[in-house]
Amino acid sequence: MLSRPSNRPSQPASGTVQGARLSKTSRPPSVERLESVLSSRSQTERLGHVIGALLTGGEVLALIGALGAGKTALVRGIAAGLDVPPESVSSPTFVLAHEYNGRASLIHIDLYRLRTVAEAESIGLDEYLAGSAVVAIEWAERFPEWLPEDRLEVQLTHRSPATRDVLVTAQGPRSSALLTRIARNWRIVQRAPVSLKPARPARRKAPAR
Ligand SMILES: Nc1ncnc2c1ncn2[C@@H]1O[C@H](COP(=O)(O)OP(=O)(O)OP(=O)(O)O)[C@@H](O)[C@H]1O
Ligand SMILES: [Mg+2]
């Protein structure tokens, strides 16, 4: 479900005029937040895929959520969207950072074990953030002072053992434009019917003569 801040439900979205019909050339209304319920790990990976497919390099994603909230699952999807084999993605808890090469490089960082700013410096966090790679940071809230002003924030919360709530917000103009596109594509993906049949009927083996 996509929504705008609940304290402003009746206000027009930025870039739109209330009651006016948008022409095909109008800018799409900008989205300020995306909220959704992710009913399985694969659904979380799917959202990650939607995000990853829109990334071009240099974006920073702050991933926030408790242990087991699904941050790494989301990164697996982001990797797939960047054409990195998702099975190569594992939690960087012990090495702190992994780098993957896809359409753009993906740096996957986990700040859970970092205790001090000096330790954050020692892994070269500022260099990663200044570079041209996509940077996805688990436990980003531990070092907020390290985060760039322009960033996408993804907050995952346990709802039940298999379900998570996700809230995506954007800080800064680049991430805001990205969030609008993510929201649009996520809406399309959610509406797409899940096909239970193979796209083509399986070929029968020719009978042995
Ligand atoms: N809807 C869901 N989305 C994501 N993971 C889910 C979901 N439902 C169940 N899970 C399970 O929750 C766990 C999430 O693990 P994951 O490593 O992605 O979490 P994490 O937030 O990265 O944890 P950590 O803080 O330890 O790094 C997995 O075992 C996954 O199968
Ligand atoms: Mg993790």
For residue range 134-185, list pLDDT tens digits in order. Answer: 999 999 999 898 899 999 999 999 999 999 999 999 999 999 999 999 999 9
Using the mean position of ligand 2's atoms as its centre, give its distance from the Cα of residue 4 in Å: 28
Q: Tell me the pLDDT tens digit for each residue of 82-113.
A: 999 878 888 876 678 899 999 999 999 999 98
Instruction: Tell me the residue range of the domain where 113 lies.
Output: 31-191
CB of 44 closer than 6 angstroms to any ligand 1 atom:
yes
Whether 131 shows a pLDDT value over 70: the answer reads yes
Confidence of residue 23 (pLDDT cuts 50, 70, 90): very low
Strand 105-110 and strand 2-3: pairing? unpaired
Whether 6 shows a pLDDT value over 80: the answer reads no
Confidence of residue 29 (pLDDT cuts 50, 70, 90): confident
In a domain, 204, yes or no: no
How many angstroms separate the CA atoms of 142 and 120, rounded? 10
How many angstroms separate the CA atoms of 91 and 33, rounded? 27
R_g of the chain, CA atoms, integer Å: 19
Mean pLDDT of the chain: 83
Closest C-alpha to ligand 1, atom 11: 41
How many structural domains comprise the chain?
1
Closest C-alpha to ligand 1, atom 23: 68
CB of 65 closer than 6 angstroms to any ligand 1 atom:
yes
For the chain, how are helix, strand and coil distributed in percent, rounded to 5?
30, 25, 45
- What CATH code is carried by the domain that includes residue 148? 3.40.50.300
**95: its two tokens:** 């090495």
Q: Ligand 1, closest atom to CA 156?
A: 21
Closest C-alpha to ligand 1, atom 6: 41
In a domain, 20, yes or no: no
pLDDT of residue 38: 98
In a domain, 197, yes or no: no
Looking at per-residue pLDDT, the higher value among 15 and 192 belongs to 192
In a domain, 44, yes or no: yes
Using the mean position of ligand 2's atoms as its centre, give its distance from the Cα of residue 126 in Å: 21
In a domain, 47, yes or no: yes
CB of 38 closer than 6 angstroms to any ligand 1 atom:
yes
Range with the lowest mean pLDDT among 4-13, 47-56, 96-105? 4-13
In a domain, 21, yes or no: no
